[in-house]
């Protein structure tokens, strides 16, 4: 039986399962660059957790990745053509590379000639009006670690600038810009100068919190693009590292260089200091939680580093990632101050990362000797090197979850149920700790679609048992073979890997969280095989609808395998479900199924009990088929109205949107007629009752007169 109590109904309008999840799996516009796979498909989006920026940053920072350095140069904007020419003369006077949408693309070019600089300055300044406070241009600086080769630095900066200022991915406009690569310092750096007035829509470029261009988002994208090129950076700020002072100004840096001294920094004070201290305390707490996450997967050394960093922040110390060549052990260099063969800068309050007491010093001495103390529980586990990518936290968690699921699935069936529940509880807590509230919620929910909740237990003789929730049926060898073949054929037609679909039958998704990961994999399959661009609205919608249609078809195949012996029962639970649907619609005003698969199963049950044209008849105002279950015309009208509401949301019910909307209008009008009829009847009954009362009173009066 495909339709049961309508627990999947919710009082809101919504699309199918996949379309509803599109926004959750990172396929939204501007969420990131799309990389083409070797087969011409796409690698885009995510299906796992979405850790908070704070958690992701602290995970990387505690492992001493290198910080992204992206600055807007204070007072670096120019207000006149003369000042712009002077700025360009300086920037391109010692440039070792250049790029931008105002210059010809030439990988061999090193600088702009004086004529080219003059032409750009004249072109930009011709459109300037007024005297903006920060100038008509913006000057940005990107600095890379010393180990990054200049050519790689230019490649990363060029890709980032193209996304920011040319693609329209962050704001619907394009800005003119030029950039110069400098190598006169120990680390390569890129200067970018852009004209603030947009070329297409005239939008004024500015950077601010909450705006499309804010420093945090711009750093995130720079780190993401760098990762694609094999350079791993984090987005930590001075406060993240525990530095409670303002960075030195450019003027102070130049003055200190002339005076041959270290630049002076101004300490935070007042409310700003209080806010910074609160942020440092929050970071210390996050690091403690991350140490627990690392411990779950056996990353003992990573967990130790995170606990050490947490203690350092709690004591007022400073974590300072090393801007140096990352070594290969555990994916990155040791944390600054850990004394693993590296000397670090002393800052007023001690080393960049202070010793975590005698115990911490002892642990470091042991690591210097080439080993690490392990308790009996750790000795039994092989330690996995922590990832050194910007999304390492998400990747690590996904790997840990997958390994744990494999271990549980390998146990005898009678031992699995309590462990699955325990895993859901633990994983939900971890995901919530990492800042993914939606992921934590999905961890506690069962899968929505029939396919991801189905389990096929095969036996050696070819027979199998199909289980979906509380529904179960034993299949003979031919039925089991037909079921798998039908699902494989449907998957192939949709563009989804059929072997993956068949493998899922052996292990249903433990929760809606894992279901989301499977949806992501299916979307990628469809996009790759159908050559769809998931960075566009059209590509995302097309892929989502294809996957939703496959899930609906898979639900029919599975329900057919379960309901072969139940068709003759004509779906006895359907009347109760219809009554509940009518009640939910009246209370909430809207109605939908959890997925297109459920909607398709509902339409099939309507046809099985009330005839093949049941949905079309209701859309035309005919409710004769419902009379045997619902003698009351008002009850039939309420049910028909609820069915039409569902049909406006789900195409798989068999009605077009226009048919469903006409049906709603028809049944709304009929409900008004019935209501008006009830009022007329009530008035008539009231009038007749009054007439009878008056007649009785007249009779009593006449009797009294006769007696007198």
Counting residues of the chain whose pLDDT is more than 70, the rounded percentage is 76
DSSP 8-state symbol, 474: E
Return the pLDDT at 332: 38
Of 149-163, 439-453, 672-686, the range with the highest mean pLDDT is: 149-163
- Has residue 312 been placed in a domain? yes
On whether residue 301 sits in a domain, the answer given is yes
Domain boundary among 533, 548, 568: 568
pLDDT digits (tens, 9 = 90+) for 84-119: 999 999 999 889 999 999 888 777 788 888 899 999
Say yes or no to pLDDT of 567 above 60: no
Q: Which of the residue ranges 134-138, 319-323, 355-359 would you say has the lowest mean pLDDT? A: 355-359
What pLDDT shows up at residue 427?
A: 83
Residue 656 in this model has a pLDDT that exceeds 50: yes
C-beta pairs of 251-255 under 8 Å, 24+ apart in sequence: none
Between residues 209 and 138, which one has the greater pLDDT?
138
- pLDDT mean over 59-83: 83
What is the per-residue pLDDT for 372? 35
In-domain check, residue 591 = no
Of the candidate ranges 140-154, 302-316, 369-383, 590-604, the one whose mean pLDDT is the lowest: 369-383
> 160 and 102: one domain?
yes
CA distance linking residue 559 with residue 471, whole number of Å: 10
Contact, 36 vs 304, CB < 8 A? Answer: no
Whether 152 is in a domain gets the answer: yes
Residue range 31-56, pLDDT digits in tens: 332 232 222 222 223 445 667 777 87
Cross-strand pairs, 454: 468
- Do 337 and 351 form a contact (C-beta atoms < 8 A)? yes
- Tell me, yes or no, whether 495 and 405 share the same domain: yes
Q: Quick: pLDDT tens for 510-550.
A: 888 888 888 888 988 898 888 888 877 788 888 888 998 89
CATH code, 148: 3.30.930.30
As a whole number, mean pLDDT of residues 160-174 equals 88
Where would I find the H helices in 47-149?
A: 53-61, 81-93, 114-125
Closest CA to 226 of 179, 324, 167, 159: 159
Phi, then psi, of 261 in degrees rounded to 5: -140, 170
Least confident residue range of 35-49, 170-184, 457-471: 35-49
Q: Euclidean distance between the first and final Cα of the chain, in Å?
A: 78
Based on the domain organization, do 177 and 317 belong to the same domain?
A: no
pTM over 0.95: no
Q: What is the pLDDT of residue 429?
A: 82
Dihedral of the alpha carbons of 393, 395, 401, 405, in degrees to the nearest 10: -170
> Among 180, 185, 147, 148, which residue's Cα sits nearest to residue 161?
180
Tell whether 541 and 490 lie within a shared domain: yes
Co-location of 447 and 561 in the same domain = yes
In tens, the pLDDT along 190-225 reads 999 999 999 988 899 999 888 889 888 898 889 888
Percent of the chain topping pLDDT 90: 21
Which domain-ending residue is among 370, 387, 416?
370
Tokens of 18: 């996949």
Residue 26 has pLDDT above 70, yes or no: no
Tell me which residue range forms the domain holding 655. 611-671
> Residue 177: pLDDT above 80?
yes
- What does the DSSP assignment read for 61-81? HTTT-EEPEEEEPTT----SH
Comparison of pLDDT for 442 and 380, the residue scoring more: 442
Average pLDDT of 685-695?
51
Cα–Cα distance measured from residue 285 to residue 272, given in angstroms and rounded to the nearest whole number: 20
Give the pLDDT confidence of 336-348 residue by residue, as tens digits. Answer: 333 332 222 333 3
Mean per-residue pLDDT for 294-321?
Answer: 81
Query: Are residue 215 and residue 120 in the same domain, yes or no?
Result: yes
Tell me the average pLDDT of the chain: 76
The answer on 183 and 136 residing in a single domain is yes
**614-639 mean pLDDT:** 88
Distance CA(392)–CA(63), nearest Å, equals: 11
CB 294 within 8 A of CB 302: yes
* Residue 422, strand partner residues: none
Q: Do residues 548 and 623 share a domain?
A: no
Residue 683 has pLDDT above 70, yes or no: no
Q: Which of 292-301, 378-387, 495-504, 607-616 has the lowest mean pLDDT?
A: 378-387
Same-domain check for residues 96 and 182: yes
More confidently predicted of 683 and 492: 492
Query: Do 413 and 300 sit in the same domain of this protein?
Result: no
**C-alpha–C-alpha distance, residues 692 and 685, integer Å:** 10
Q: Within a domain: residue 243?
A: no
At 367, is the pLDDT very low, low, confident or very high (cuts 50, 70, 90)? Answer: very low
Looking at the domain assignment, is residue 317 inside a domain?
A: yes
What is the tally of structural domains in the chain? 4
The SS3 call for residue 309 is helix
Whether residue 601 lies inside any domain: the answer is no
pLDDT for residue 538: 85
Q: How far apart are CA 105 and CA 99, in angstroms?
A: 7
CB 575 within 8 A of CB 629: yes
| pLDDT at residue 690 tops 70 | no
What mean pLDDT comes out for the span 422-435?
A: 82
Q: Are 103 and 178 in contact (CB under 8 A)?
A: yes
Q: Is residue 681 part of a domain?
A: no
Same domain, 488 and 527: yes
Q: Are residues 164 and 215 in the same domain?
A: yes
Q: What is the pLDDT of residue 570?
A: 56
Helix (H), strand (E), coil (C) string for 242-299: CCCEECCCHHHHHHHHHHCCCCCCEECCHHHHHHHHHHHHHHHHHHHHHHHHHHHCCC
Please tell me the predicted confidence (pLDDT) of residue 247: 83
Residue 357 has pLDDT above 50, yes or no: no
Counting Cα atoms < 13 Å in the Cβ hemisphere of 575 gives 14
User: Distance between CA 687 and CA 681 in Å, rounded?
Assistant: 10
Domain endpoint, select from 568, 583, 598: 568
């Amino acid at each position: 039986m495909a339709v049961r109590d309508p627990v999947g109904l919710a009082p809101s309008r919504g699309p199918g399962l996949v379309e509803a999840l599109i926004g959750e799996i990172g396929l939204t516009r501007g969420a990131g660059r799309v990389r083409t796979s070797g087969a011409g498909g796409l690698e885009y989006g995510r299906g796992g957790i979405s850790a908070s920026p704070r958690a992701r940053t602290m995970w990387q920072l505690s492992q001493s990745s290198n910080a992204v350095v992206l600055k807007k140069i204070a007072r670096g904007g120019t207000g006149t053509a003369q000042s712009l020419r002077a700025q360009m003369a300086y920037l391109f006077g010692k440039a070792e590379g250049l790029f931008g949408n105002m210059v010809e693309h030439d990988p061999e070019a090193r600088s702009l000639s004086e004529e080219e600089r003059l032409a750009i300055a004249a072109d930009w300044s011709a459109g300037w009006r007024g005297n903006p406070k920060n100038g008509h241009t913006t000057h940005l600086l990107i600095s890379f670690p010393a180990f990054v080769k200049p050519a790689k630095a230019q490649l990363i900066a060029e890709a980032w600038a193209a996304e920011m200022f040319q693609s329209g991915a962050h704001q619907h406009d394009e800005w003119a810009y030029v950039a110069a690569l400098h190598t006169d310092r120990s680390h390569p750096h890129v200067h970018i100068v852009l004209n603030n007035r947009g070329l297409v829509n005239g939008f004024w470029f500015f950077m601010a919190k909450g705006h499309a261009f804010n420093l945090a988002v711009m750093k995130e994208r720079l780190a993401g693009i760098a990762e694609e090129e094999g350079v791993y950076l984090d987005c930590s700020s001075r406060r993240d590292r525990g530095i409670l002072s303002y960075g030195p100004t450019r003027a102070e840096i130049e003055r200190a260089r002339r005076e041959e001294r270290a630049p002076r920094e101004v300490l935070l004070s007042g409310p700003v200091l209080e806010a910074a201290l609160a942020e440092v305390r929050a970071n210390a707490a996050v690091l403690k939680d991350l140490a627990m996450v690392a411990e779950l997967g056996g990353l003992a050394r990573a967990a130790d580093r995170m606990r050490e960093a947490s203690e350092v922040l709690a004591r007022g110390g400073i974590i300072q990632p090393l801007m140096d060549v990352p070594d290969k052990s555990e994916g990155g260099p040791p944390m600054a101050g850990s004394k693993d063969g590296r000397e670090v800068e002393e800052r007023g309050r001690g080393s960049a990362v202070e010793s975590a007491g005698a115990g911490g010093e002892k642990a470091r001495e042991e690591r210097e000797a080439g080993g690490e103390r392990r308790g009996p529980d750790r000795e039994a586990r092989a330690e996995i090197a922590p990832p050194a990518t910007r999304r390492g936290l998400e990747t690590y968690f996904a790997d840990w979850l997958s390994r744990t699921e494999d271990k549980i699935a390998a146990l005898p069936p009678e031992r699995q149920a309590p462990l699955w529940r325990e895993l859901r509880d633990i994983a939900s807590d971890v995901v919530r700790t990492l800042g993914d509230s939606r992921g934590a919620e999905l961890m506690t929910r069962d899968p929505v679609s029939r396919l991801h909740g189905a389990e096929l237990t095969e036996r050696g003789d070819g027979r199998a048992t199909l289980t979906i929730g509380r529904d179960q049926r034993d299949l003979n060898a031919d039925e089991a073979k037909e079921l798998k073949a039908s699902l494989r054929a449907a998957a192939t037609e949709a563009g989804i890997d059929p072997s993956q679909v068949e493998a899922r039958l052996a292990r249903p998704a433990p929760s809606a969280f894992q279901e989301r990961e499977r949806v992501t994999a299916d979307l990628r399959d469809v996009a790759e095989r159908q050559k769809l661009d998931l960075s566009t609205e059209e590509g995302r919608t097309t892929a989502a609808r294809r996957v939703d249609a496959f899930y609906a078809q898979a639900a029919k195949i599975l329900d057919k395998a379960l309901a072969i012996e139940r068709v003759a029962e004509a779906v006895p639970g359907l009347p109760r479900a219809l009554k509940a649907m009518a009640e939910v619609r009246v209370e909430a005003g809207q109605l939908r199924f959890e997925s297109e698969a459920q909607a398709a199963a509902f339409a099939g049950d309507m046809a099985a009990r009330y005839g093949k044209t049941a949905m079309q008849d209701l859309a035309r105002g005919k409710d004769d088929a419902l009379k045997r279950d619902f003698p009351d015309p008002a009850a039939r009208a309420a049910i028909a109205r609820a069915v039409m509401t569902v049909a406006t949301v789900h195409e798989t019910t068999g009605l077009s949107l226009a048919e469903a909307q006409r049906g709603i209008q028809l049944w709304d009008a009929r409900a008004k007629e019935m209501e008006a009829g009830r009022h007329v009847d009530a008035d008539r009954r009231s009038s007749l009752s009054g007439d009878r009362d008056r007649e009785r009173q007249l009779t009593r009066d006449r009797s009294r007169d006769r007696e007198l």
